[in-house]
Structure 1
Amino acid sequence: MNINKQTFSFSRTLVSMAVVAACAPAFAQADAAELTTPDSTVSVGAGIINGGKRDASLMGQYNGRRNEEAVLQLDIDSTKRDDASGVVMIIKGRDLGLESRELSFAREKQGDWKYSLDYYELVRRDPRTLNTGLTGLGTTVNNVVPLAAGTTVGSVGKPGTGADQDFKLQRIGLGLAGEKWISSNLQFEVSFKNEDKKGDRAISRGYDCAAYVCGGPSNAAITQSATNQKYALLLLDEPVNSTTKQLEIKLNYAGQGYNLSTGYYGSFYNNANGSLRAVVPNLLYNPSGNLGTLFPAVPSTVIAGGGTSLQNVLQLPMALAPDNEAHQFYLSGNAKLAPSTNINFRYAYTHATQTEDFASMGLLGAPAGVSNLGGVVDTNLLQIGITSRPLPKLSLLANVRYEDKDDHTPEALYNVEGGEILPTTTPRTYVNRSWFNYRASSTKLTGKLEASYQLPADLRGTVGLDYTSYDRPVPVSITEEELAGLGAVRAKNEENGYRLELRRSVSETFTGAIGYSNSKRTGSDWTSLSNSAAFVNAGLGYGKTAPASQFIALNATNAFPMNMADIDREKVKLSANWTPTDALEVQFYAENGTDKNSTAASAVAGGKGWRETGSSIYSIDAQYALSEAWKLTGYLSQGVQDLKVNHSTGYLADIKSNSDALGLGVVGSPTGRLEVGANVEYLNDTTKYGIAASPTNTGAAASAANLQQAAVGLPDVVYQTTTLSLFAKYTLDKKSSIKAVLVSQQAKLNEWSYGYNGVPFVYSDGTTVSLKQDQTTNFFGVAYIMKF
């Protein structure tokens, strides 16, 4: 579902940006003084949002207005110059009456010095409303209180009887910057930014009892029952209270035919909260809507030391983002090697660390002798590029980028997972197995060569070659580095590709271009992470390498990580610009591309995991001048994204997202003092979840359960908006004007994450999440604009 971009773009700007559309220049002519001395303006007004709290939840995500209320409109744009000293002072303020306010101040003497101050606020409100019995909101300890008629086993749940909660996150940023020309060639720059983020964010916690963690005393059968609860899912409140600081210091030098910059950039993240813990009762909802007792821990006869009850699993602390920092030193520059040849380069060294103490974060049970992660990653980056025009009709480009990440984080046995003792015992028994953390060292090399040549008949051709290689460490011995969760990993990938483009001016009024690109990613043999008897007997035990086909021969359902798999990529682009008259301009664009997994796969079971991704975009934009006073604009676009996955549990997913957009606008001046405009936009974003049952790895028919689920399918997710914007601006005199804006939006979000067909999803404590499916919001504002 691709709704975020469109939703955020509109919701943040409904109040303020609709007003900006009315702020075109009031006069077609200006005297010489007005041309050399910019006007300063201040805009003061009021607006009202008509739409209840539930109707404005989509629109009000970023402007802080979810209630039907009046808002203050206040903007300022002031530029003042002291002709005697040459000092310029600039003050800009935007949306000062809203929670999304921005304010900046700058003072400078061009070519000598400058300093500035920036302040901003941004509030993001969760469009969904939570109804919950949860207490301890805003703290690191959440108390789970089931919404039920009683407190004993079998008590009937009463979802919807809790308190409504509307979560929000607020960012407050402050920036300081300054620069000084030390000499005519040397400039010093410094900037600092501090951003505080506070608020509440919904986060889930859940667990389904594994056989070696929680269950019956003999572990003969772990099943859900009317009175016993094998699994639980809770919605908690993550208390957000963090600060991000950024500092950059830079020296710039301009020489004869070359420029150099060297500097330092530092990033510092601090989280006041290290972990989140829930206090959970031993009674939670079962699927029938009654309270059931959570499964106890399995005894030591099942696994050494015994397991952990479901209640205590849910009460384990959840790690939040840890403190970290990074320091980068860099040198960059460019130079003219010859009249038609230029070179540019950049070198950067970055030292990043994560060393916050586990105990101070509220996290216990670290490996013996380990008090913090000790995370250290050093990165060296080198980039060199050359552009040249050796012939009037020939342009050349070459670029190389090398990045080496060296992860020095110590390895330790952090992760514990129960492994069944083989041969299988009755009842089954397990042993604790530990796994190392994974180091993220890597080396990446990318290169690009490109040549463009002006051909006869107004044709220009471009040919490009692209190369990428990616190296990563892989385990070689299970005694030194034991990883879990994957069947195989790959030490190296390489991708080679080419690009072709042909561009032509057919006439003075029509230009067009067609492009094609193709690339293939391959790699080294795969490294086994299996110690099963079949793999060991075949010489493919842990740390051994072989082609993918040998893994498939031993295990037809073996899935290979998509970021390491072989891939065939292909893309076609078409574009055109048509200007038949001075009044009309039309632009066309079309693009279609696919990425296909070409790793070896079983002919019977089919390749498992990600199989293919496709995308296409078609758009047309047009502008037409009816006269000098009236103009029309319009656009139409369609985008499609398709994702195909063959899941290991026996189903095939084909997820297709279609996005259609249409916009029409008109702006004009009926009189010399009046300017009016109207704009209507429509967006329809639909995601279809195609699902089918896949055959077994032996070629047998799909299971009855999978066939039944595929027949039921999944509903579409639909997001639609229709927005009408009207404005009028009347010029009172050369120094003042008045404007009025009316914006009406109808929005619809129909999705099944938190409920379907009017029935909400109920968490294990009775918490529900709701959002009004159809919303209508209107905004009307009037403002007075004064120039000074």
Structure 2
Amino acid sequence: MKTTKQHAALSRTAIALAVLSVFNAAHAEDEVAQLIKPESSISVGLASASGDSKSRAIFGQYNGMRNADVYGLLDFDYVSRDDASGTWTRAKGSNLGLSSRELGFSREKQGAWKYSIDYSELDRNYLRTINTGMSGAGTTTPGVTYLAVPGTGNDVNLHTKRSATGLGFEKWISPSLQFEANFKSEEKSGARIWGRGYACEALICAGGGVTAAVLLMPEPIDSVTKQIDAKLNFHTDKLLLTGGYYGSFYNNAHGSLTPGVENRFNRADATGVTGAPAVAGGTSLADVMRTPMALPPDNQAHQLYVNGNYTFTPKARANFKLSYARATQNDSFAGAGLFDGPAGVDSLDARVDNTLAQVGFSANPIDKLSVIADARYDHKADKTPRELYNAWRAYTWFNSGTESTRISSKLEASYRLPANLRATLGLDHNSIKREVPETLSEENVGGLVALRGKNTENGWRAELRSSMSETINGGISYTNSRRSGSDWTSLSLLDPSNVATLGANAAAQAANRALINLYCGGLACYGQQIPGTSIIGLTAGAAFPMFMTDSKREKVKLSADWNPTDRLSLQFIAEDSKETNLATSNPVAGGKGWRGTDSRLYSVDAALALTEAWKLTAYASRGDQTQRINHSSGYMADINDKNDGASLGFVGLLASGLFEVGGNVTYLRDVNKYGLAATSTTSGTLPGPLTSVAPSAVNVAQAAIGLPDLAFRQVNLRVYGKYAIDKKSAVRVDLIHQRAKLNEWQWENNGVPFAYADNTTVSMLQSQNVTVVGVSYVHKF
């Protein structure tokens, strides 16, 4: 009896295994059949959106659902395989009833050849509505007419449209050699918000009338960008090699915008008066605003490249890249409707050559150790001829140079320690050498006190990761780097041979001569390489460019993955970083400009399988960044950006799998605060001592008023239901509801829109609610 029972149990187990093997085999056969003869599908339907174009401005910015109330829905995916030849044919269309449509077709024989063609469109509708008296908005010859009352003009909604066509071809020449070629042509048309502003200098405009104005001038867009990429791919057991050519060609049908401008502009009290007239040899405000505005010129770029990787042994590999590129721009100034340029010069004749070389190496010298090394060289050579532009009275300067050399390298080692720990240590080096002006006649850089010809940043990082159990993994990392650089190139105009730069009276001239002798060796200061302490000696409130100044960066990151059950997974991330400006500063004036940045990020992601048919996903995150600015005009700003995000999603099956439902709700909130505070200023004359002066009453009062917050909040709800009529057909219903609020005081504050000097206004509904319902029929074949 005992033996019989054992045989019975074994028989039942064997039967169960046999049944499972049959179902598994059947399932595997279905998967194989799906790969060999995949199903095609088509979806047809309609969607309806609530509200009007203004209440859908945020929702419909890119998806093509802003202007109309009803939209057609059409998608298809066709796949077929010719069993005799092994040739695949694919055709796919997405969003064909919308202005964000995509369409593609391809045929291929795997391992032999492939060709493809695709087409796509994308409309961008600008969020804000323009109310203006302008005629010809979005053309090259707009006419600016002053509106007596803001809001009494015509509404204009700007948009741009991209239409792209692509062609692709692949051919296997031999088992180890493949040729690929791709071509893309993108047409872009429409108009976008643009403009010009000018504040008269005394050398340009006389007193009497408005001396400053800002006008809206929508940029007309009618351009074509063509791109070509052709390459050969070669491989052996150890070598993978790719070499090819990439070309980019940009053509703009418009060279410039020449506006007609009525000589009437708003002054501070919003009263329209004539613009300031010209002084002798100068230009009136109205004529300045009428001068042609240059649009992006035609240009092209060509690149030859080779990259690949080589396997020395199963534990040692190398990768490399080498490329040479040349970009040129030779549009005629006169042909673009601009000035003729310097004598004998009809175009910029711009040329920039770029040489890039990179090599990397990875190895596992011993079982527990892995090593990575990488080096990169990137040189940009500006071959553009230097000519004297901006000729006006006695002032002429050469065009700017952009030559630079970047070198970066890293070395990283990871070692597997006992107790399932892995330690990683890395070293990083980055340097950049850039072109800076050497003389005032070469280039006059305004608004800055100094530039730096070279920066170097060295850093190290360490990480420790642990597999604490089969369900918990985690890591902690720390990164530290410091940036320093060469001496600074002075942009001070102090020149002992030019009395105009020394001051209006004997005392100022004597003080400035003392500065020149003390810090500039008795010579003109502009273009000299001097230490940062000397720059501060020349200008106590000097603000060094934030991407050139000495700085220190630190970052700590914690991460963890936890799977408490087979159905639940959680991921956690926490980051804290800090960057501090280390530039020297005057002890009385204090450091000016950017002083530092603090950032924090926290996030959690979760996935839960309630059953085999029902699943939940969720995430939450918070980011917080503060930039500390000490402005030279007597105030400080702690510019804070805080953003929160959260989402909850679900998907499940009802009615024995005939009815699929799903959806998610997402929340996004982004708030910018300006944190203004008045600060002290200084009195005294360098090189003598400075004394601190309490903040002015005006600055204290303004800081107390502050600036409004800039806030964006959005809630999205997406729900769908899909009912299977049979194995081939289904009906799907989608519901989308979005609630958004955008408060940007720069464009509108307390219900009052921003007004340009001609009373053109730009406005948008701050609170927008949209509901979209879509019904579609899906058929598989």
- TM-score > 0.5, shorter chain as reference: yes
Query: 8 Å contact 1:345–1:385 — kept in the other structure?
Result: yes
Letter in 1 for 2:669: N
How far apart in 1 are the matches of 2:353 and 2:659? 61
1:181 matched to 2:172: yes
Match for residue 747 of structure 2?
Answer: 754
Q: Which string of whole-angstrom CA distances, capped at 9 and with x for unpartnered residues, describes residues 527-584 of structure 1?
A: 2122315343224222322210121122111122222111111111111000010011
TM-superposed CA distance for 1:483, in Å, is 4.1
Q: Which string of whole-angstrom CA distances, capped at 9 and with x for unpartnered residues, describes residues 160-211 of structure 1?
A: 1100011000000000010101111111111100000000111121111111
- Cα 1:694/1:544, change in 2 over 3 Å: same
Query: 8 Å contact 1:435–1:484 — kept in the other structure?
Result: no
1:656 matched to 2:640: yes
Using the size of structure 2 for normalisation, the TM-score is 0.91
Letter in 1 for 2:663: A
TM-superposed CA distance for 1:92, in Å, is 1.1
Query: 8 Å contact 1:168–1:199 — kept in the other structure?
Result: yes
SS of the residue corresponding to residue 61 of structure 1 reads coil
Provide the aligned C-alpha RMSD in A: 1.6
TM-superposed CA distance for 1:377, in Å, is 0.7
Match for residue 333 of structure 1?
Answer: 308
TM-superposed CA distance for 1:32, in Å, is 5.3
Query: 8 Å contact 2:397–2:442 — kept in the other structure?
Result: no
Residue of 220, 236, 254 corresponding to 1:255 = 236
How far apart in 2 are the matches of 1:105 and 1:500? 48
Match for residue 598 of structure 1?
Answer: 582
Which has the higher mean CA deviation after the structures are superposed, 168-177 or 317-326?
317-326
How far apart in 1 are the matches of 2:258 and 2:310? 56
Query: 8 Å contact 1:50–1:68 — kept in the other structure?
Result: no
1:707 matched to 2:700: yes
Letter in 2 for 1:777: V
Q: Which string of whole-angstrom CA distances, capped at 9 and with x for unpartnered residues, describes residues 482-530 of structure 1?
A: 5444322212111100010000011111000111100000011112122
Query: 8 Å contact 2:754–2:763 — kept in the other structure?
Result: no
Q: Which string of whole-angstrom CA distances, capped at 9 and with x for unpartnered residues, describes residues 17-71 of structure 1?
A: xxxxxxxxxx999575335321111111111111222110100101222245111
Match for residue 138 of structure 1?
Answer: 138
TM-superposed CA distance for 1:271, in Å, is 0.8
- Cα 1:408/1:542, change in 2 over 3 Å: same
SS of the residue corresponding to residue 660 of structure 1 reads strand
SS of the residue corresponding to residue 167 of structure 2 reads strand
Letter in 1 for 2:273: G
The 5 Å alignment of 1:735-754 reads 735-754=728-747
How far apart in 2 are the matches of 1:415 and 1:702? 39
Match for residue 13 of structure 1?
Answer: none
Using the size of structure 1 for normalisation, the TM-score is 0.90
Residue of 377, 392, 399 corresponding to 1:402 = 377
- Cα 1:455/1:536, change in 2 over 3 Å: same
Match for residue 83 of structure 1?
Answer: 83
Residue of 127, 150, 158 corresponding to 1:167 = 158
The 5 Å alignment of 1:511-522 reads 511-522=473-484
- Cα 1:709/1:365, change in 2 over 3 Å: farther
1:438 matched to 2:400: yes
The percent identity for this pair of structures is 50
TM-superposed CA distance for 1:288, in Å, is 2.4
Match for residue 249 of structure 2?
Answer: 268
Letter in 2 for 1:581: T
TM-superposed CA distance for 1:365, in Å, is 5.2
Query: 8 Å contact 2:388–2:397 — kept in the other structure?
Result: yes
1:204 matched to 2:184: no
The 5 Å alignment of 1:488-499 reads 488-499=450-461
SS of the residue corresponding to residue 296 of structure 1 reads coil
How far apart in 2 are the matches of 1:450 and 1:566? 25
How far apart in 2 are the matches of 1:515 and 1:366? 56
How far apart in 2 are the matches of 1:142 and 1:647? 38
TM-superposed CA distance for 1:615, in Å, is 1.8
Match for residue 10 of structure 2?
Answer: none
Query: 8 Å contact 1:51–1:67 — kept in the other structure?
Result: no
Please list every run of 5 or more consecutive structure 2 residues that lacks an aligned counterpart in the other structure: 1-26, 495-501, 503-511, 683-690
Match for residue 503 of structure 1?
Answer: 465
1:122 matched to 2:122: yes
- Cα 1:717/1:368, change in 2 over 3 Å: same
TM-superposed CA distance for 1:720, in Å, is 0.6
Match for residue 525 of structure 1?
Answer: 487
How far apart in 2 are the matches of 1:274 and 1:88? 46
Match for residue 668 of structure 2?
Answer: 683
How far apart in 2 are the matches of 1:52 and 1:728? 26
Residue of 300, 315, 319 corresponding to 2:294 = 319
Which has the higher mean CA deviation after the structures are superposed, 279-288 or 721-730?
279-288
Residue of 738, 761, 772 corresponding to 1:768 = 761
TM-superposed CA distance for 1:415, in Å, is 3.2
State how many pairs are aligned: 724
TM-superposed CA distance for 1:315, in Å, is 0.7
Letter in 1 for 2:716: T
TM-superposed CA distance for 1:405, in Å, is 0.8
Match for residue 621 of structure 1?
Answer: 605
How far apart in 2 are the matches of 1:705 and 1:209? 25
How far apart in 2 are the matches of 1:776 and 1:623? 30
Query: 8 Å contact 1:630–1:666 — kept in the other structure?
Result: yes
How far apart in 1 are the matches of 2:33 and 2:728? 14
Query: 8 Å contact 1:629–1:669 — kept in the other structure?
Result: yes
Which has the higher mean CA deviation after the structures are superposed, 77-86 or 672-681?
672-681
How far apart in 2 are the matches of 1:393 and 1:234? 66
Match for residue 570 of structure 1?
Answer: 554
How far apart in 1 are the matches of 2:610 and 2:540? 65
1:61 matched to 2:61: yes
Query: 8 Å contact 1:746–1:775 — kept in the other structure?
Result: yes
Query: 8 Å contact 2:519–2:538 — kept in the other structure?
Result: no
Letter in 2 for 1:676: V
Structure possessing the higher radius of gyration over alpha carbons: 2
SS of the residue corresponding to residue 279 of structure 2 reads coil
